[in-house]
């Protein structure tokens, strides 16, 4: 007998200026050192970095022109978001696993509110997959467990960025 499987997606439903202070007790908080700019880890982006490395929407507001030298995954997150804190170490691990093949960037929506607005980020975590050719794909939320979330990212990276 086949048993249906339900995979739940979790995200912070609050707006990017919200707070989720109560969830710190429920989730291991990602170490700030995990978010440093590391040649083999995730890379923090500011608006200026985004305009130079991903897309200059000020010069080309009507057309997507990817500027990167390899495909990328961009994590729109906030420190107060519990699912974002779950995602952070997974993305660090995947940045090392896919080193040289893709870049994994992080954008703090609290500090870079204009970038969040440009991409219509309503809930976080949100992820922008930017292939070398074609249009980017946006997704949001994480799966029910860290293992399922890790596999979700691997599938998306393989299907959207490395096919």
Which residues are designated catalytic? 81, 84
Torsion, CA 78, CA 35, CA 97, CA 118, rounded to 10: 40
How far from chain centre, in Å, is Cα 54? 14
Question: 9: closest CA among 114, 139, 104, 130?
Answer: 139
The pair phi, psi for residue 120, each rounded to 5°, is 65, 35
DSSP state of 142: B
Q: Which helix (H) or strand (E) holds 129?
A: strand 126-130
Whether residue 77 contacts residue 106, with contact meaning beta carbons closer than 8 Å, is answered with: yes
Q: Indicate the burial class of 49 (C-beta count within 10 angstroms; 0-12, 13-18, 19 or more).
A: middle
As a whole number of angstroms, the distance between CA 25 and CA 130 comes to: 34
């Amino acid at each position: 007998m086949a048993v249906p499987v339900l995979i739940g997606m979790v995200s912070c439903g609050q707006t990017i200026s919200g707070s989720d202070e109560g969830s710190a007790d429920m989730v291991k908080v990602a170490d700030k050192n995990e978010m440093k700019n590391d040649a083999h880890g995730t890379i923090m982006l500011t608006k200026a970095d985004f305009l130079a490395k991903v897309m200059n929407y000020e010069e080309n507001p009507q057309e997507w022109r990817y500027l990167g030298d390899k495909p990328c995954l961009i994590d729109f997150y906030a420190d107060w978001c519990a699912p974002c804190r779950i995602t952070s170490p997974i993305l660090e691990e995947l940045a090392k696993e896919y080193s040289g093949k893709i870049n994994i960037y992080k954008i703090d929506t609290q500090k870079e509110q204009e970038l969040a607005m440009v991409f219509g980020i309503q809930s976080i975590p949100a992820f922008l997959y930017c292939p070398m050719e074609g249009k980017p794909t946006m997704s949001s939320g994480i799966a029910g467990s860290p293992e399922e979330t890790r596999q979700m990212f691997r599938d998306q990276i393989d299907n959207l960025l490395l096919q």
